[in-house]
Chains A and B, each alone.
Chain A
Amino acid sequence: MDSPLLQVTDLTMRFGGLTAVNALSFEARRGEITSVIGPNGAGKTTVFNCITGFYRPTSGGIALTHPDGAVFQLQTLPGHRIARRARVARTFQNIRLFAGMTVLENLLVAQHNALMPNVASGLLAVFGLGGHGAAEVIAIDRARGWLDRINLLPRADDPAGALPYGDQRRLEIARAMCTAPVLLCLDEPAAGLNPRESDALAELLKTIQADGCSVLLIEHDMGVVMRISDHIVVLDHGQRISDGDPAHVRADPNVIAAYLGEGDEDDPDVPLAAASDGPLAAAS
């Protein structure tokens, strides 16, 4: 009865002659952290861009089912509708904060649609009408709550561009969460973080999951992926080569071959766990 939150069916994305994603199918279940991993150039970010409406897929379907049963065909929606109506939020591989705006302002822009449901209400707000003031009090409270959670409350009035790298990563996640999503898509959130910051990030993602938001994660840091994922999808050359829980993926010979190269046939049983500081961890 419980339909998957996100169901990707036969997703294909071609750029001219290049097939970045080829007939990919997978699902992400409600309340789980689903990771998409694979070597560089495997098509992970392309899948993300299709899900979040930045690319229109060449063919295939992406269905998102809300807890209330409403179904959204994401491949037909423009990007801003996916964020607003289907409530899919995302972060970017290279951080895209509003650098010249303060930390607090970044979180308020994320609540734009709650503050301004339509243009008329946005214009009324200029004259102090339409309940903008009350909505802003709520929005600031929500932002304050998130800043508290990511330990950035003391820096709320600093420009986002002046924050250290790790703080910017967490702020981008908080900003995405301020849109009240049902699915949070994170594109390499641990890239460039030191081990302590990666641990804090893993904890943050766990609390987000505990709050009921499902997470779709692209990540190269296998320490983080193996620790927090409920379900892992492995891509290589735009195709799914493995799918299952961390233990299953870790032992899958296809995955090992993809990461170590095809020349490993002599020794196909190299367990990933043994190589925990090896190729998978080093890939980040």
Chain B
Amino acid sequence: MNPILKDAGISALVALGLFGPMIGLKTEASATGLFLVPRPLALAAAVAAVFFGRLVLLTWRGRRPGRYRANRGLSEALKRSGRFLTPVLLAFAVVLPFISGRYGIDLGILVLTYVMLGWGLNIVVGLAGLLDLGYVAFYAVGAYSFALLSQTFGLGFWTCLPLAGLFAATWGVMLGFPVLRLRGDYLAIVTLAFGEIIRIVLLNATSITGGPNGIAGIPRPTLFGLQFSAAGGPDTFSGFFGLEYSPTQRVAFLYYVILGLALLTNWVTLRLRRVALGRAWEALREDEIACRSLGINVTVTKLTAFAIGAAFGGFAGAFFATRNAFISPESFTFIESAIVLAIVVLGGLGSQLGTALAAIVMIGGFEVFRDLAEYRMLLFGTALVLIMILRPRGLVSGRTPSVALGRRREISAELVAEGRG
């Protein structure tokens, strides 16, 4: 039998099984109770649609053997465009507060926060190949570290920022020690649980964290001691520079803070890739057993990846706290981890440009389509499925070598391992 017909027939059978109860039967209320109304025509239409749809899809695909090659061409085009796309994006990011209103800057802050989180998680997932589903835990640790330090000791943002990173890194190491002997799915599940544990502890340790009420009144960052307030004295930004006060000044300043933090994350990651530590991470992603045979301490190397990734999550968390001036455990649910991981995977594991693009598409796109109300989830899901079908290794796949005797040539994604934890 023609394999295409057979495939379509099997699809139709599956559709029959699924749609049988869902479309084929309808319950109707009457005075005596519910009774079932069979709908054979509707069922037949649905099954026929699946059968012919599958037939058309398979025939069309069979006619186009060059599809995947064309796809690789697209990938290379995207990579080449990266050379000028990066400076363009960067320039746009720098001038955004001057060309955009309050809403645009707020959206920029949101996107950049996720870009930074994506780059931080990229160290763990993209470079070291460790699947971490609880990254939000470190984000929460950073946010709560800053909030509690400022509440208890009255410390400012810039003092607390490195401390927040340090605390998050410490938690990364504490989680890492028992967990990193697990691999693949097991690692993912335990990190997921860790993310939830942190959130539930924050929720229930009411005497310290305020529980579900959260912590309010977190101080805003200052520019070398200058505050952004309407008071207008010489120790405020507007007073010192003799400008008229506008709340946009503070938002723009926050924007540049997160831009700087994100670029710092990017710079450190790019540097790390070029030195022994980053190369060991990538080697670990490729083959852990070979690493061990070359004398690389696998546990320590994984821990550093976890700790450095966590530190950047902590920085982002501290920024989140200072931007919102209020935090509560609600902001650190699993969905945040999932979004950040989706950004990394969609962008292409290990790719800095891809992660930034994915964050813009995912977070920015989500905001732009706000008017579509409930349909935007549908649109969003469709977009994700499409990207995964067309570009299974993410927007920017492939890998740039960290060192070369001659010219650096891109390594095709088919050769690069994804890591199994």
Contact = CB atoms under 8 A, between A and B. Distances in A.
A99 interface: yes
A106 to B, nearest CB: 8
Nearest to B269: A126
Nearest to B416: A100
A89 B293 contact: yes
B368 interface: no
Given A79-B293, A112-B294, A98 B282 contact: yes
Contacts of A109: 279-280, 283, 291, 294, 296
Nearest to A126: B271
B213 to A, nearest CB: 39
A165 to B, nearest CB: 15
Nearest to A133: B275
A108 interface: yes
Contacts of A82: 295
Given A104-B403, A157-B404, A157-B408, A162 B283 contact: no
A83 B294 contact: yes
Interface of A, secondary structure class, is helix
A122 B280 CA distance: 10
Contacts of B290: 92, 96-98
Contacts of A98: 282-283, 286-287, 290
B119 to A, nearest CB: 15
Given A100-B399, A125-B276, A113 B296 contact: yes
A162 B404 CA distance: 16
A126 B290 CA distance: 25
A161 to B, nearest CB: 4
Contact of B280 (A97, A116, A158): A116
Interface string B244-287: 00000000000000000000000010011001110110110011
Contact of B283 (A83, A101, A136): A101
A53 B271 CA distance: 33
B275 A132 contact: yes
Interface string A202-228: 000000000000000000000000000
B355 to A, nearest CB: 18
Interface residues of B, number: 39
Interface in B298-337: 298, 300, 304
Given A101-B282, A116-B280, A122-B275, A159 B294 contact: no
A162 B277 CA distance: 24
B101 interface: no
B320 to A, nearest CB: 25
Contacts of A100: 282, 286, 399, 411, 415-417
A101 B286 contact: yes
Contact of B277 (A125, A156, A175): A125
Interface string B122-133: 000000000000
Contact of B279 (A90, A105, A113, A175): A105
A90 B412 CA distance: 28
A186 B401 CA distance: 28
A84 interface: yes
B201 to A, nearest CB: 29
Contact of A105 (B271, B292, B295, B401): B401
B296 to A, nearest CB: 5
A177 B365 CA distance: 51
B405 A83 contact: no
B411 A96 contact: no
Contact of B287 (A96, A119, A179): A96
A144 interface: yes
Nearest to A82: B295
A116 B286 CA distance: 19
A83 B297 CA distance: 10
A176 B290 CA distance: 10
B100 interface: no
A80 interface: yes
A100 B304 CA distance: 22
A157 B405 contact: yes
A123 B272 CA distance: 8
Contacts of A52: 293
B231 interface: no
A157 B405 CA distance: 7
A115 interface: yes
Contacts of A110: 294
A112 B295 contact: yes
Nearest to B408: A157
A161 B412 CA distance: 10
Given A109-B280, A116-B276, A101 B401 contact: yes
A140 interface: yes
B42 interface: no
A107 B93 CA distance: 39
Interface in A146-165: 153, 156-159, 161-162
**Interface-central residue, B272, B293, B411, B417, by most chain A CB under 10 Å:** B293
Given A80-B297, A80-B298, A112 B407 contact: no
A265 B374 CA distance: 84
Contacts of A115: 275-276
18 contacts: A80-B292, A80-B297, A89-B293, A89-B294, A96-B290, A98-B286, A100-B416, A101-B401, A105-B279, A108-B279, A116-B277, A122-B276, A125-B275, A136-B276, A140-B403, A153-B405, A176-B293, A176-B294
Given A100-B416, A101-B282, A136-B276, 13 more contacts: A52-B293, A96-B289, A100-B399, A102-B404, A108-B276, A109-B279, A112-B295, A115-B276, A132-B275, A156-B404, A156-B405, A157-B409, A176-B294
